[in-house]
Amino acid sequence: DAGTMPKAAMQYQDTPKGKAQCSICAQFIAPHSCKVVAGNISPNGWCIAFAPKS
Ligand code: SF4
């Protein structure tokens, strides 16, 4: 399922933060969702809840 946190609250951006981006985050749900943040999420995005996949 998709997350419930507003993008703004999580400082979501549609671009990577250095090497950190949604496609390598443990919270990402391909192709365009996230367990934390609501809405359409880019694989190339980033937010403050980023946590790399183990
Ligand atoms: Fe979701 Fe943020 Fe991880 Fe992107 S970086 S997948 S928006 S938790």
pLDDT averaged per 10 residues in sequence order, the chain, 54 residues = 92 98 98 97 98 95
Count of alpha carbons within 13 angstroms of residue 25, beta-carbon side: 29
Sequence spans of domains, the chain: 1-47
What is the structure's pLDDT at 31? 97
What is the structure's pLDDT at 44? 98
Query: Ligand 1, closest atom to CA 10?
Result: 2
What is the structure's pLDDT at 2? 87
Amino acid at position 36, single letter: V
What is the structure's pLDDT at 1? 62
ipTM: 0.98
Residue 43 Cα to ligand 1 middle (Å): 9
Buried b (16+ CB within 10 A) or exposed e, 12-46: beeebeeeebbeebebbeeeebbbbbbeebbeebb
Residue 44 Cα to ligand 1 middle (Å): 10
Give a three-class secondary structure readout of 8-26: HHHCCECCCECCECHHHEC
What is the structure's pLDDT at 38? 97
What is the structure's pLDDT at 3? 95
